[in-house]
């Protein structure tokens, strides 16, 4: 085993050296090619003179921008750190006044001029992450989650929070408060369906907790970049997951809370984020500002207003988070208790769930966003048996913050999520992959969504090496419990009384995250002349020649500096990973063996699940709406497994009002779809044969045939679907209906899909001809 660790570590280091060498080669190529034109000594002198004048001006403007950042930080602190929303808002409910107080509040977003919302449309409730920073990232700009929901006509509410927790506040208090917020929103919009809950990062798993304890209050849940399975990840790619083991588990968070007089400083969490990418933290973002000083300051200052707002957590809150999520991974296992003996059970969530993650996210990698599904449901059948609908959307490259703040992501992904919400509740249970397709029509860009049925087992593709590397984290959990118990017994009783709130506040003031801001502001008398110097530099701005040799030298030095930081990061992460597995893997071997013996679970028999068993016992029972749903599901079963949003919209326009689902309460409609999906999945032949018994009257059959006729030629269909449609027509058109359905075999095979099931538009004449052919070739009674 030790030899294997040494080999892996050597490979990681070798890869780091290779990437560093490639970066240096790439940075040096312009120099190796030589100048585009001959350069004389006079040209060099002129270029150097112009460059150094520009360099001096940029330096003054750069430091003045940092001074403005410091002043903005001071103003934000003085104002009480209000939410950084780019929209007006009004307070609806303040949880600080609740029976179980929490430092949260519900606000209503006031639509900007020119944007109208319909109070009878389903409201959106957006929960921002409380992970060190303040609220506002979900509505940071007009092109944001808030913006796209408002433009679609939905009322939008936002869950904000205040800088300091209430005394004795727990995560259970927060979940109760957020549940009360949803109750209030529901009361304000009694004619609409249940509110959509959107959770960003930490707000994502907070949304799931609310859905677990109050499933009847929650509509569809959208969680963006939300870490749900903290142990998951790929070796060599996701170093943040090793932090709990390297630091020894929970006790550092307890120590930090005791040094903060019972409050945990969110600046520590921000430091963890910055630790992941030191080249950006210490060089790239500042060099980008320096090199683009004429255009970049506004964007830089806008983002830094949010990034520099550090909020606090209570000791009990951070302890619960670290124990149950970072170290324990208890949420996915169903062991995260919100009160004594009462654990959050994510299986209790009834609403559809949309998961949005990105391959470019190194804070919440896709494995942490998706693997909880496989932890909770070991098979696709288990997920369906629970009646759950889960849709996964994967971006190829955007980073963690880009999921929430990128205007391009808001216009493309988030706007399509808002569009899909109206249809997701009518999907049969299952796991779906969501893909946003882009089309250019007459110079404008149009988007469509493709949903493809997936299996839970397909999630293994996210793991390069399987999930065996998660075994050492169980040893981390055991070590954490021991160290935390020792700390609580011997250190906490001595240290906690020694730290007063005033001492803790002074210590937070000198935290490097804060000190770097207030020290470069107008509080520093040495910087008082800087403002006048910056104004002079702007008035006499003389940009350099970007193609000159000195500017090229600057770019080369910047590229080398950035690559060097990346080289350091790669070697550091490889060393941390190697240390982690050397420490904890030997201890996990015995634990893994015990778990393997204890977890010898029998395969799940989906037919024995109560919901499924009940559905199969009533194959011949149901209303006209149930019959129409069954017919639709039968046609989908022999389809391609893909559903296009534009086709779903078209079908709803053509027949939606007549099916009956839209006029029902959401839960009743979902119950019909769920029950019929079980029947069609497990007993497709019997489901088809019994269809006339659900459509007993001539009126029911006439309406059904009419609806099918409306869809012909307007909805994509493959050859099997056309044949099945003819069979359904035969069953419902025959005067003997039910008796013939009993007596004769069904000629269309539903258990296997056609190998050539390419979709195409279904012509009316071809469908009619196939239906008549079916009648002619039918065996006689």
Residue range 488-498, pLDDT digits in tens: 999 999 999 99
Residues in CB range of 258: below 8 A, 6 or more apart: 315, 491, 492, 495, 496, 499
Given this model, what pLDDT does residue 442 score?
A: 79
Question: Which tokens in the block code for residue 49?
Answer: 């003179």
Task: Give 368-402 pLDDT, tens digit per residue.
Answer: 999 999 999 989 999 999 999 999 999 999 999 99
pLDDT band at 588 (very low <50, low <70, confident <90, very high): low
- Weakest mean pLDDT among 104-108, 712-716, 755-759: 755-759
Burial of 159-192, coded b for 16+ CB within 10 Å and e otherwise, reads bbbbeebbeebbbbbbbbbbbbbbeebbeebeeb
Residues in CB range of 541: below 8 A, 6 or more apart: 57, 294
The residue among 76, 56, 136, 133 whose CA lies nearest residue 521 is: 76
Mean pLDDT along residues 336-341: 77
Mean pLDDT along residues 647-653: 92
Mean pLDDT along residues 730-742: 59
Given this model, what pLDDT does residue 28 score?
A: 87
Mean pLDDT along residues 537-549: 89
Rounded Cα distance between 93 and 108, Å, is 10
Question: Is the Cβ–Cβ distance between 612 and 385 less than 8 Å?
Answer: yes
Rounded Cα distance between 591 and 111, Å, is 55
More confident residue, 691 or 337: 691
Q: What is the model's pTM?
A: 0.90
pLDDT band at 32 (very low <50, low <70, confident <90, very high): low
Given this model, what pLDDT does residue 37 score?
A: 64
Question: Which tokens in the block code for residue 412?
Answer: 């493309």
More confident residue, 231 or 507: 507
Other Cβ atoms less than 10 A from the Cβ of 295: the count is 8
First to last CA, the chain: 71
Residue 764 has pLDDT above 60, yes or no: no
Residue 294 has pLDDT above 90, yes or no: yes
Task: Give 439-475 pLDDT, tens digit per residue.
Answer: 887 778 899 999 999 999 888 877 766 777 888 999 9
Residue 327 has pLDDT above 50, yes or no: yes
Residue 265 has pLDDT above 60, yes or no: yes
Task: Give 39-92 pLDDT, tens digit per residue.
Answer: 788 888 999 999 999 999 999 999 999 999 999 999 999 999 999 999 999 999
- Weakest mean pLDDT among 46-60, 104-118, 463-477, 762-776: 762-776
* % pLDDT > 90, the chain: 73
Given this model, what pLDDT does residue 591 score?
A: 52
Return phi, psi of residue 706, to 5°: -65, -45
Other Cβ atoms less than 10 A from the Cβ of 326: the count is 22
Question: Which tokens in the block code for residue 469?
Answer: 């590397």
Mean pLDDT along residues 242-270: 96
Question: Is the Cβ–Cβ distance between 425 and 666 less than 8 Å?
Answer: yes
Mean pLDDT along residues 643-652: 92
Mean per-residue pLDDT of the chain: 89
Mean pLDDT along residues 576-581: 93
Max alpha carbon distance in the chain (Å)? 104
Given this model, what pLDDT does residue 71 score?
A: 98
The residue among 517, 532, 510, 526 whose CA lies nearest residue 71 is: 517
Residue 98 has pLDDT above 50, yes or no: yes
Question: Is the Cβ–Cβ distance between 460 and 382 less than 8 Å?
Answer: no
pLDDT band at 781 (very low <50, low <70, confident <90, very high): very low
Rounded Cα distance between 486 and 452, Å, is 51
Task: Give 125-148 pLDDT, tens digit per residue.
Answer: 999 999 999 999 999 999 999 999
Residue 256 has pLDDT above 70, yes or no: yes
- Weakest mean pLDDT among 19-23, 584-588, 753-757: 753-757
The residue among 260, 187, 199 whose CA lies nearest residue 225 is: 199
Given this model, what pLDDT does residue 772 score?
A: 40
Given this model, what pLDDT does residue 158 score?
A: 98
Given this model, what pLDDT does residue 712 score?
A: 79
Rounded Cα distance between 635 and 121, Å, is 31
Residue 749 has pLDDT above 50, yes or no: no
Given this model, what pLDDT does residue 242 score?
A: 92
Task: Give 682-697 pLDDT, tens digit per residue.
Answer: 999 999 999 999 999 9
Mean pLDDT along residues 708-713: 84
Given this model, what pLDDT does residue 600 score?
A: 43
pLDDT band at 770 (very low <50, low <70, confident <90, very high): very low
Given this model, what pLDDT does residue 3 score?
A: 64
Residues β-bridged to residue 761: 716
Given this model, what pLDDT does residue 51 score?
A: 94
Residues in CB range of 218: below 8 A, 6 or more apart: 182, 194, 195, 197, 207, 210, 211, 349, 350, 351
């Amino acid at each position: 085993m030790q030899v294997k660790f040494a080999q892996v570590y050597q490979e990681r280091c070798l890869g780091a050296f290779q990437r560093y060498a490639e970066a240096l080669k790439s940075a040096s190529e312009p120099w190796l090619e030589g100048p585009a034109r001959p350069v004389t000594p006079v040209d060099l002198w002129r270029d150097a003179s112009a460059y150094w004048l520009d360099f001096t001006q940029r330096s003054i403007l750069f430091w003045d921008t940092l001074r403005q950042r410091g002043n903005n930080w001071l103003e934000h602190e003085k104002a009480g750190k209000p939410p950084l929303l780019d929209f007006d808002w009004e307070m609806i409910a303040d949880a600080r006044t609740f029976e179980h107080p929490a430092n949260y509040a519900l606000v209503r977003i006031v639509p900007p001029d020119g944007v109208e919302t319909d109070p009878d449309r389903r409201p959106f409730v957006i929960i921002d992450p409380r992970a060190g920073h303040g609220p506002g990232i979900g509505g940071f700009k007009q092109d944001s989650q808030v913006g796209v929901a408002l433009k679609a006509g939905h009322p939008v509410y936002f869950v904000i929070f205040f800088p300091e927790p209430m005394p004795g506040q727990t995560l259970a208090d927060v979940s109760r408060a957020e549940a009360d917020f949803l109750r209030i929103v529901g009361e304000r919009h009694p004619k609409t369906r249940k509110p959509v809950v959107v959770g960003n990062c930490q707000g994502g798993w907070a949304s799931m907790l609310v859905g677990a304890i109050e499933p009847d209050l929650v509509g569809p849940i959208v969680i963006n970049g939300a870490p749900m399975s903290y142990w998951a990840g790929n070796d060599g790619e996701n170093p943040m997951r090793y932090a709990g083991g390297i630091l020894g588990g929970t006790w550092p968070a307890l120590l930090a809370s005791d040094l903060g007089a019972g409050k945990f400083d969110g600046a520590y969490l921000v430091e963890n984020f910055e630790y992941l990418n030191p080249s950006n933290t210490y060089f790239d973002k500042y060099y980008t500002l320096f090199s683009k000083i004429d255009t970049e300051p506004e964007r830089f200052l806008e983002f830094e207003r949010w990034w520099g707002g550090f909020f606090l957590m209570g000791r009990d809150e951070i302890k619960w988070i670290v124990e149950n999520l970072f170290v324990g991974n208890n949420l996915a296992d169903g062991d995260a208790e919100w009160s004594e003996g009462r654990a959050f059970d994510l299986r209790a969530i009834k609403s559809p769930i949309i998961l949005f993650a990105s391959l470019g996210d190194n804070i919440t990698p896709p494995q942490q966003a998706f693997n909880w599904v496989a932890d909770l449901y070991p098979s696709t059948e288990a997920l369906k048996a629970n009646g759950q609908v889960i849709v996964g959307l994967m971006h190829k490259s955007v980073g963690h913050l880009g999921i929430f703040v990128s205007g391009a992501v808001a216009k493309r992904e988030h706007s399509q999520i808002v569009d899909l919400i109206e249809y997701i509740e009518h999907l049969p249970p299952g796991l779906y992959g969501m893909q946003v397709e882009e089309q250019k029509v007459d110079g404008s860009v149009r988007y469509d969504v493709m949903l493809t049925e997936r299996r839970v087992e397909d999630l293994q593709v996210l793991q390069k090496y399987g999930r065996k590397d998660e075994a050492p984290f169980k040893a981390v959990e055991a070590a954490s419990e021991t160290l935390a118990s020792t700390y609580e017994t011997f250190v906490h009783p001595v240290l906690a009384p020694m730290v007063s709130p005033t001492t803790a506040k002074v210590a937070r003031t000198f935290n490097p995250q804060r000190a770097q801001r207030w020290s470069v502001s107008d509080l520093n008398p040495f910087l008082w002349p800087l403002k006048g110097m910056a104004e002079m530099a702007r008035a006499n701005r003389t940009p350099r020649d970007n193609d000159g040799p000195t500017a090229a030298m600057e770019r080369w030095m910047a590229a080398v500096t950035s690559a060097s930081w990346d080289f350091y990061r790669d070697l550091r992460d490889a060393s941390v990973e190697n240390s982690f597995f050397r420490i904890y893997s030997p201890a996990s071997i015995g634990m893994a063996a015990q778990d393997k013996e204890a977890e010898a679970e029998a395969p799940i028999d989906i037919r024995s699940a109560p919901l499924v068993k009940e559905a199969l016992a009533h194959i011949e029972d149901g209303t006209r709406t149930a019959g129409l749903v069954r017919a639709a599901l039968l046609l989908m079963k022999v389809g391609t497994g893909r559903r296009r949003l534009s086709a779903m919209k078209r079908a709803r326009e053509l027949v939606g009002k007549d099916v009956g689902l839209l006029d029902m309460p959401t839960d009743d409609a979902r119950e019909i779809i769920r029950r019929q999906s079980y029947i069609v999945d497990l007993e497709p032949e019997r489901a088809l044969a019994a269809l006339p018994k659900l459509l007993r009257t001539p009126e029911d059959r006439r309406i059904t045939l009419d609806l099918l006729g409306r869809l012909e030629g307007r909805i994509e269909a493959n050859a099997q679907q056309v044949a099945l449609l003819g069979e359904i027509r035969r069953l419902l058109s025959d005067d003997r209906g039910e008796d013939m359905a009993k007596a004769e075999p069904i000629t269309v095979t539903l258990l296997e899909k056609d190998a050539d099931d390419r979709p195409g538009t279904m012509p009316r004449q071809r469908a009619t001809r196939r239906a008549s052919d079916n009648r002619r070739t039918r065996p006689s009674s």
